[in-house]
């Protein structure tokens, strides 16, 4: 009688890598809908922008003004957190 045993040959299963980036935004920002997603732009002290595939989640305590496809962030101090896991990127905007 032949018995087949399955066993792992090369160590442990790799855990998915989670990458997290935080950006402090002072003086407001602009979120614009562009082809393929959204672009977040702010000054820090140079003009900085990040493209995302989905709309950032905005906390209720962040003051914003919506005009069509543009969102103006009016809160003077915010934190943009970007989390990448399993090929998906999620952004979150909150006050500091």
Read off the pLDDT of residues 42-91 as tens digits, 9 standing for 90 and up: 988 889 999 988 899 999 999 999 999 999 999 999 999 999 888 778 89
Position 35 confidence tier, pLDDT thresholds 50, 70, 90: very high
Q: What is the model's pLDDT at position 86?
A: 80
Closest to 47 (Cα-Cα) out of 66, 64, 71, 28: 28
Q: What is the model's pTM?
A: 0.76
C-alpha neighbours within 13 Å on the C-beta side of residue 4: 1
């Amino acid at each position: 009688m032949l018995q087949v045993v399955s066993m792992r040959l090369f160590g442990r299963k790799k855990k998915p890598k989670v990458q997290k980036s935080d950006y402090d935004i002072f003086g407001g920002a602009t979120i614009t809908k562009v082809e393929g997603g959204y672009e977040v732009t702010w000054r820090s002290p140079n003009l900085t922008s990040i493209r995302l595939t989905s709309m950032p989640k905005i906390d209720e305590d962040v003051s914003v003004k919506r005009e069509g496809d543009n969102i103006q962030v009016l809160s003077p101090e915010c934190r943009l957190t970007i989390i990448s896991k399993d090929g998906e990127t999620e952004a979150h905007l909150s006050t500091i």
